[in-house]
Amino acid sequence: MGLWHKGTALAATCILATALSWPAQAQDAQPDPWPSLVSDVFHDKPIKDGVGVIGLDAPVRAEDAALVPMKLSILLPPDDPRKVKSITLVIDENPAPVAAVFEIGPKARISTISTRVRVNQYTNVHAVAELSDGSLYAVMRYVKAAGGCSAPAAKNLDEANSNLGQMKFRELADADANLAPPLKEGVFMMKHPNNSGLQMDQITHLYVPARYVDSLRISQGEDLILAVTGGISISEDPNFRFSFAPNGAREVHAEAKDTSGASFRGEWPVHPTM
C-alpha cells in the first residue's frame, strides 16, 4: 500500500494547517475522515476489530506535538498460523494521514515497533495490521496535540545538512529472554530534518520545502527485519525501536532514501546469539 497524498502540494497542506486556528467547536463539526481513508488507503476492504491482534500505545495528551511517541505491538497468539505482514499507522487529521507503513520481515518475529510522530491537531490515530491471509485489523487511540507538522525544526538548516544521513544502530538487552532463541531489541536512529513542507524558516519567513525519508530497509545479513515507507508525519531525526529474532548474521545494515533522491547506508556488527 502506497502513501496517501504523498508529496501533496504545499499550498494544499498550508490550507489544512490553518485548521489549527479554528475554534474548537468548528473542528468538532468537521466530518470524520476515517471512512474516506478506508476507501482511499485500504480500497474499502473490510477492517475488523484488532483487539487481540494489534496494539497501539499513544499518549492521550502529547507533551510535544512534534515528538509524539507511538508503540505498535503484535498480539497474535502463538497458535495462530497467520503472521502480520505489515502495519499502517494513520493519523487521521494530519495533512498526509498515512504516517508510515511498516513491512515486517517474514523471519524477523517482530513483536513491537516504536517511533515518534508529528500530530497536527486533535485526532484519532489508527493502526491497521495486514495479515498473511490478506485480512485487515485495526485499533484506534485519540490523541490531543496540535501544531506538530508546522513546528519549527529543532536544528538550523546548516546544522541539519552537516549531519544529514548519519545513522546509528544499537543492539540492546534481550527483549524477551523466555523465548528460544530470545528476541533482541534494536534501536535505529538517523539524522534527517524530515521537513514536512509546513514549517516556516524563522529568519526568512518562507516555508521550508518538504524533504523527508520515504524509504528505509533494515536487514540482518540477507534477511529483512523491517522496511518503512515514511511520510511527513515521522518526526525530525527518525527513530525506530523494535524487537526482532537474530538469524546468526554478523551484521545489521540499513539503506534509506529521501524525497530529494539522496541515498544513505549504514552497517554495524551484532553480537552472536548464544
- Minimum mean pLDDT among 40-54, 98-112, 193-207, 218-232: which range? 193-207
pLDDT tens for residues 212-267? 999 999 999 999 999 999 999 999 999 999 999 999 999 999 999 999 999 999 99
pLDDT category at 181 given cuts 50, 70, 90 is low
φ, ψ (nearest 5 deg) of residue 25: -65, -30
pLDDT category at 17 given cuts 50, 70, 90 is very low
Q: Is the pLDDT of residue 109 over 70?
A: yes
| Cα dihedral across residues 8, 10, 11, 13: positive or negative | positive
- In this prediction, residues 102-120 reach a mean pLDDT of 97
- Report whether 114 contacts 69 (CB < 8 A): yes
Query: Residue 197 and residue 7: Cα distance in Å, rounded?
Result: 9
- Minimum mean pLDDT among 173-177, 208-212, 213-217: which range? 173-177
What is the reported pLDDT for 271?
A: 72
Pull the grid cell for residue 105.
520481515
